[in-house]
Structure 1
Amino acid sequence: MALQLGKSPRSSKAAPAKRGPVHPKARKAQAVVAVLPFLDQRPGGADSHLSEGIAEEVLQALNHLEDLQVVSRTTSFRYGGSALSPLAVGRRLHATAILAGTLRKEASLLTLKAELVEVKSGRVTWSKAYAFDRQDLFKTLDDLIACVASALHVPTFIRPRYAVDLEAYESYLRGRQAYFRFNRQGMRSAAEMYRRALDLDPDFPSAWAGLANCAAFTYIYIDRTEPQRELAESCSRKALELDPDLAEAHASRGVALSAAGLVDEAEAAFETALRLDPNLFAAAYFYARHCFANGKLERAIEYFEWAAALRPEDFQAILLVAQVYHSLGLEDEAERARRTGLALVEERLERVPEDVRARYLGANALVALGEREKGLDWARKARSMDPDDPMLLYNLGCIHALAGDPEESLDCLERAAAGGLSQKDWFIHDGDLDAIRSHPRFQALMARLGS
């Protein structure tokens, strides 16, 4: 792609046209269900990651059913362990029904108790206690999901899933949690967890997909070496070989192909993932990032908005789409998205004040909205937490460019590139950097990053 050192293209005439797979249509839901995290019965919450992961599996499966609306994960999960009764939570969330339960793990035996409560009447419409061995986890969950769907009078089809070893599944859950921190430490932890899962269960396709994602991230943002690119390619291919119909594997393949610069092949993989599972956040989110990096800004808006609709609680997609709107000169839309995303960031930081990514993406929104000093204060706090992370440094470069600090911006961008962030196309198309494009240091940095 030719280097463009002038302003990014601007257009304020029209919203982006729709392309690609068909977005899930708004459902005329006959029921609205909220899923609470299953309460971990072990002292100290030693298995809380598993109890939440299982509840999320159930939530995502229910979210695929026609005629059923599912309250978003973050909205419902904030009531996990609440002093409020499930019935009171259901009324607060305007749900038709609420699913709650408990989990206890003792050695290889698990006990799962679940009940579905009709909010209007307070009546328990379905309940069941399961005692099962570790290898029967997904078989048990399939039965639970089918029973809940039946109690809610909605049709169900459950796609057969790989019966993963429980310990491998737990490692996968920990890896996925670490991955979405989007920093070096998170990638190392995620890769370690995915490798542990594969040591325990070498045929676990989701773990292969996760490891491919880690390698692709590392190649783009930390260590642009052939071994990382090859690892992303081989792991994503392995995931597809193990399960050709797994949307997660196709999304992972798209990420790997995008990292390798194979634009059309990556798009085909992402679109396949979304055809297989239009509700897969990772497919929409990473497709959007791919489109933005390749200058397809209207399509990036489409898929960032798609991802934001799938996870209304996620601050990343909505704040990134704000930047794309800004790059296209759609300032009203940019402000709307920034204010929405900033509210989500503030809510996140109340619960997890150490979330560096929330802090710096929120700082960007604050500066762009005119709250310069508060935004720069948040940026300083983020930098104090992880001062050498390339992704953080790149975003600090954007923040300081918006704030009118060109030299500080360029210092951060140069350090980000020296630390391994080498996705030149993102530099080219990011409207946050417009103020410094003509600066000799920026042009020199683009020349060093090559073609």
Structure 2
Amino acid sequence: MALQMGKSPGSHKEAATRKAPVHPKARMALALVAVLPFLDQRPDGGDSHLSEGIADEVLQALNHLEGLQVVSRTTSFGYGGSPLSPLAVGRHLHATAILSGTLRKEASLLNLKAELVDVKSGRATWSKAYAFDRQELFATLDDITRHVASALHVSAPIRPRYPVDLEAYEYYLRGRQFYFRFNRQGMSLAADMYRRSLDLDPNFPSAWAGLANCAAYSYIYIDRTEPQRELAESCSRKALELDPDLAEAHASRGVALSAAGLADEAETAFETALRLDPNLYSAAYFYARHCFAAGKPERAIEYFEWAAALRPEDFQAILLVAQVYHSLGLEDEAERARKTGLALVEARLEHTPDDVRARYLGANALVALGEREKGLAWARMARSMDPDDPMLLYNLGCIHALAGDPEESLDCLEQAAAAGLTQKDWFIHDGDLDSVRSYPRFQELMAQLRS
């Protein structure tokens, strides 16, 4: 989905100089640490979501520390279950140190062991065994972060976090997994998980923020009704009331305000989120999407690139920014980003072949790079897996427009709108659709949609 705007090719570089927060990749890294997914010691693997979630919390906390570089989640977590020892993994990743651990849950008690190994010497520089009840989870994770930072000679100012109930936190983790599928079914499941989390702990701000994101997504792409908009508004406001300094809450507020068409207020919320936490992927990514819909391609580039820097394994931001580069006539940058994104998609599909979003975004890149038949084959595969999802249908419309199939493109776009994707701004600014804009069917569709 690219923008078609009459901006000068160099103007996006000027925009990049104005952002206030320091870009996370601009800091000097003194050490490189890799965090492996903690091992679930239940024989059936029933707590794997929790063990991975705990390791991810520590990874993100370490990623916020100045003077420390952290191997991306996808890279290090890709070694989960590997026959290699943690030390061998650390050497393979050229890391300074590697953190690994185990988790065993027994009723309300958790037993957690963590160990930090110096890769050069092969010696453990820190290790500790914890036994704690469900209310002490985040305090324990903060203690791990402080000890790891100390062992690596890095200052670790820790912001106190809400002591969420463990079961509520587990539902939140499941909700986050479903949400990032970015489809109708995933959004419904995510909202259900967030509601279950809030039933157990109604003061958990992150779950309120997650529910707000689900409602805003549904309003924009699935069910453009007033109850969905009001739900996004009320839940995002509740998250901020519970924790005014939570970057995640400001990001969800930005998403809700963007959905409601309050562009200036949304930008303020997104920029506040990034000021509070320049490493918050969701803030950068959704700010970029907001700028895209608002017809601001240079700023969309700025924040898509920011998001891609935060998650080098993420195929979404890099493929979307490729299309914005193309719309501005920056073909070298577009080709570079598409090839990078396509490699990430292929790696993702190797491990998760049923990832529909990876499949259709990859299909778009393939067609744009001249591999038309392979791209259309991928598009057909994506449609066979989730034929009625409005986001999928819209993207198929873009793919077929790029491939020179105008009637198929218009069929898909009409079906996307009928399924609930009725935000007119996306259709207006998407350069992938330029080849079908002159068709009466497209113009009739635009007359039916709301901004």
Shift of 1:439: 1.2
Equivalent residues of 2:138, 2:163 under 8 A apart: yes
The one-letter amino acid paired with 1:45 is G
Aligned to 2:6: 9
For residues 29 and 381 of structure 1, the distance between their equivalents in structure 2, rounded to whole angstroms, comes to 42
Shift of 1:7: 5.8
1:157 aligns with 2:157: yes
Q: Unaligned regions of 5+ residues in structure 2, if any? A: none
Equivalent residues of 1:212, 1:233 under 8 A apart: yes
For residues 12 and 242 of structure 2, the distance between their equivalents in structure 1, rounded to whole angstroms, comes to 40
The one-letter amino acid paired with 2:19 is G
The one-letter amino acid paired with 2:155 is P
For residues 114 and 251 of structure 1, the distance between their equivalents in structure 2, rounded to whole angstroms, comes to 31
1:222 aligns with 2:219: no
Q: Unaligned regions of 5+ residues in structure 1, if any? A: 1-5
Equivalent residues of 2:12, 2:302 under 8 A apart: no
Aligned to 1:383: 383
Equivalent residues of 2:400, 2:409 under 8 A apart: yes
For residues 111 and 4 of structure 2, the distance between their equivalents in structure 1, rounded to whole angstroms, comes to 60
The alignment partner of 2:121 has SS state of coil
Aligned-residue RMSD, C-alpha: 1.1
For residues 427 and 163 of structure 2, the distance between their equivalents in structure 1, rounded to whole angstroms, comes to 43
For residues 13 and 104 of structure 1, the distance between their equivalents in structure 2, rounded to whole angstroms, comes to 54
For residues 151 and 246 of structure 2, the distance between their equivalents in structure 1, rounded to whole angstroms, comes to 28
Q: How does 1:132-147 map to 2 (within 5 A)?
A: 132-147=132-147
The alignment partner of 2:57 has SS state of helix
Shift of 1:296: 0.5
Aligned to 1:125: 125
For residues 25 and 378 of structure 1, the distance between their equivalents in structure 2, rounded to whole angstroms, comes to 34
The one-letter amino acid paired with 1:444 is E
Change (3 A) 1:192 1:7: closer
- Aligned residues, how many? 446
- Percent pairwise identity: 85
Aligned to 1:404: 404
Equivalent residues of 1:220, 1:259 under 8 A apart: yes
The one-letter amino acid paired with 2:200 is L
The one-letter amino acid paired with 1:234 is S
For residues 7 and 55 of structure 1, the distance between their equivalents in structure 2, rounded to whole angstroms, comes to 42
1:439 aligns with 2:439: yes
Q: How does 1:35-434 map to 2 (within 5 A)?
A: 35-434=35-434
Shift of 1:8: 4.2
The one-letter amino acid paired with 2:58 is V
Change (3 A) 1:7 1:206: closer
Shift of 1:332: 1.1
The alignment partner of 1:60 has SS state of helix
The alignment partner of 2:116 has SS state of strand
Shift of 1:10: 5.5
For residues 138 and 219 of structure 2, the distance between their equivalents in structure 1, rounded to whole angstroms, comes to 33
Shift of 1:12: 3.2
Aligned to 1:3: none
TM-score by length of 1: 0.97
Of 216-225 and 319-328, deviating more is 319-328
Shift of 1:29: 1.5
How far does the alpha carbon of each residue in 1:99-132 deviate from its partner, in whole angstroms, 9 at most, with x for none? 0010011111110001000000101000000011
Shift of 1:326: 1.2
Shift of 1:20: 3.1
Of 344-353 and 327-336, deviating more is 327-336
TM-score by length of 2: 0.97
Shift of 1:75: 0.4
The one-letter amino acid paired with 1:12 is P
**Which portions of structure 1, spanning 4 or more consecutive aligned residues, are displaced by more than 6 angstroms?**
none
